[in-house]
A and B are shown apart, each in its own frame.
Chain A
Amino acid sequence: MSVRLSALIVAALTSAAAAQEDTAPLGDTDRGADLWRLCAGCHQVGEGAKNRVGPQLNGVFGRKAAAVEDFTRYSEGIQRAGNDGLVWSFRTLDAYLENPKALVSGTNMGFRGLKDPQDRADVIAYLRIYSDNPQNIPESAPTAVPREVELAPEILAIVGDPAYGEYLSSECQTCHQRDGDNDGIPAINNWPEEDFVIAMHAYKEKIRPHPVMQMMASRLTDEEIAALAAYFGGLD
């Protein structure tokens, strides 16, 4: 399997616990203000900000996803994530801005993602100015960024075993229909393998909300996730 996993997302995923003690400043707000032009076509932030293509982003930290009351065009995907308990923090914003659809399937934020971790940190630092909690005081959790962790190269190199994936998938197909129908639980066939791997790690590390999926993913090893990604990636 060719996994072009971003080192940072996995770093953020695997270092969640360490993040508490081992922290660095959030990012550069000046650079963030400059990068904001990438968002400004769709979003407003600051005094008098209004909803545009996307919701206004004042006070986004600590808020449930899809919770700006007078924004009426949220996708079903982000509403589901919000109902499941997705709350915007440094970690969840970082994952969303890197690859919106890997964190929130079906989101209609038409933005390809910011691949550079520093860019994301800077934009998030900029957004942080417009949230209630002041920056860099101990009570306000999302002001610090986990320091980059060396990612085990094995994870990136894992080749999924589709035969093992097929056996493991039988457990998933009690809920996720094999033929791709969605009657209340999303279909998971034919995803790009790397998105699948990221989504599963995000459940495993409890960045994606949802108790059932967090439990299912938490006992899967890296090899098993790769095997499942290989198997489901080949189903149409």
Chain B
Amino acid sequence: MKLNRRTFLGAATAASATLAAPMVKAQATPRVVVVGGGTGGATAARYLAKDSNGEIDVTLIEPTRTYYTCYFSNLYIGGFRELNSLAHSYGNLAAEYGINVVHDWAVGIDRDAKTVSLAGGGAVPYDRLVLSPGIDFVEGAIPGWDVKAQNAMPHAYKAGSQTELLKRQIEAMPEGGRFAMIAPPNPYRCPPGPYERISMVAHKLKSENPTAKILLIDPKAKFSKQALFEEGWNRHYAGMIERVGPDFGGANVSVNPATMEVDIDGTVEKVDVCNVIPAQKAGRICDMAGITEGNWAPVSGHTMQSRVDENIHVLGDATNQGDMPKSGFSANSQAKVASMAIRGALTGSRVFPAKFSNTCWSLIDTNDGVKVGATYEATDEKIAKVDGFISQTGEDAALRKATFEESVGWYAGITSDMFG
């Protein structure tokens, strides 16, 4: 069935007509509240509404009216995408799918009363709650940096104005100036993200400021797709990028945003742009709900239910689930499993075994795309990897171009899978 406004309303009417008799009262329609309209939350809300044909009342709580995807935000920095091509609004989810979209912050969760309280006042009741709030930063992770310093030293790890700011700062660098990035420790959102960003910054500087230098300060000994990135950096940006790993103090860093200084294990470097990507944790609302252990919210892979409260499902970056990387692809994949499980629990629809997958593409230079991916299944302990693949070093240009074109197809696919 093709879902447009007409058929959706039609189906909803048909469903309520057949169900009208046995239902005791209208309020018996089960309520699902989704907090966070990002990758996990938008997908879950859309699938719940689309597949339940009006049998579930879906509310989506998201403070912003425009969602900027983090994916492809590095390509915006590199000059391959416009910022507005990364912007998505919620109009379709409300109009086409009948989702009640509330633009507000969730500021508290009462797990006994089963309500979510809103910054603007009032509380929304739920039968099941879905939390997909993404990440927040661990306080004090990089001494000298806190969120108040994000205008001097942007993280650009939530897309939108931060990404724009970082790009402007790169454009304002003096000739031959220095860009520094402080990469985060594991686990964090989008394992190849910092390294794709280094590639895109290098691509931009190579044409606009070719004597500029890039300093990558990294607390990790190894990183995602390392061989592929290093091969690409040697090929396209020879002599431009210097990486300081933990063996040279990359894990012992502090910053001074006022003077634009970075202290690496006692050696102070002055830089022109400093992109600080601090250590991460589950979006704050998970802590407020009391469902985190350490920095993340543990979940069961079979249903994405919180291990602490079975009325709450947690998706995406905020979770501790096992082997899946924190990516948009993963959050989207988890959202579909959760929405199937929730429909099964609330409306008795059929439930199938959970299956997950992920593929992350990265762009190294024009038409030089690489990818890594895997499939996963749920075991009782975790989401466990089944099978995987990764691009190879030395691939020919035609394959790399095809890989990049595929990533453009994926972007169109996932965003229409989220927002309809």
**Interface residues, chain A, CB within 8 Å of chain B?**
80, 82-85, 163-164, 167-168, 170-171, 173-179, 181-185, 211-212, 214-216, 218-219, 236
Contact = CB atoms under 8 A, between A and B. Distances in A.
Given A83-B399, A84-B402, A212-B373, A164 B412 contact: no
A-B CB proximity, top 3 nearest:
A184-B409, A185-B409, A183-B412
A216 B386 CA distance: 11
15 contacts: A82-B398, A83-B402, A164-B352, A171-B333, A174-B332, A174-B357, A175-B359, A177-B412, A181-B416, A214-B389, A215-B373, A215-B387, A218-B387, A219-B355, A219-B386
Contacts of A80: 402
A167 B352 contact: yes
A78 B310 CA distance: 50
Contacts of B336: 167, 170-171
Interface in B32-66: 47
Nearest to B409: A184
A185 B410 contact: yes
Interface string B202-231: 000000000000000000000000000000
B416 A177 contact: yes
Interface of B: 2, 47, 329, 332-333, 336, 340, 350, 352, 355-357, 359, 371, 373-375, 386-389, 398-399, 401-402, 405-414, 416-417
Contacts of B399: 83-85
A184 B407 contact: yes
Contact of B410 (A170, A174, A181, A214): A174
Contacts of A171: 333, 336, 355-357
A85 B402 CA distance: 11
A175 B389 contact: no
B407 to A, nearest CB: 7
A215 B387 CA distance: 7
A218 B336 CA distance: 21
Contacts of A182: 409
A167 B352 CA distance: 8
A91 B326 CA distance: 39
Given A173-B417, A183-B412, A211-B389, 15 more contacts: A83-B401, A83-B402, A171-B355, A171-B356, A174-B332, A177-B412, A184-B405, A184-B409, A185-B409, A185-B413, A211-B371, A212-B389, A215-B387, A216-B375, A218-B387
Contacts, number: 92
A175 B350 contact: no
A215 B413 contact: no
Give the residue among A82, A176, A178 with the most B Cβ atoms within 10 A.
Answer: A178
A173 B2 CA distance: 14
Nearest to B332: A174
Given A170-B47, A173-B413, A174-B329, A185 B350 contact: no
B398 A83 contact: yes
A214 to B, nearest CB: 8
Contacts of A175: 359, 409-410, 413-414
A228 to B, nearest CB: 12
Contacts of B356: 171
A178 to B, nearest CB: 7
Contact of B406 (A82, A167, A184, A214): A184
A80 B399 CA distance: 9
Nearest to A179: B416
Nearest to A186: B409
A180 B417 CA distance: 12
A83 B391 CA distance: 13
B51 to A, nearest CB: 8
A80 B403 CA distance: 10
A178 B414 CA distance: 10
Give the residue among B386, B389, B413, B414 with the most A Cβ atoms within 10 A.
Answer: B413
Nearest to B359: A212
Nearest to A220: B355
Contact of B416 (A83, A170, A178, A219): A178
A211 B373 contact: yes
A236 B2 CA distance: 8
B417 A178 contact: yes
Contacts of B387: 215, 218-219
Nearest to A234: B1
A189 to B, nearest CB: 10
Nearest to A184: B409
Contacts of A219: 355, 375, 386-387
Nearest to B407: A184
A58 B401 CA distance: 28
Give the residue among A167, A173, A236 with the most B Cβ atoms within 10 A.
Answer: A167
A79 B413 CA distance: 23
A236 to B, nearest CB: 8
Contacts of B373: 211-212, 215
A71 B409 CA distance: 28
Nearest to B401: A83
A215 B409 contact: no
Contact of B374 (A170, A173, A215): A215
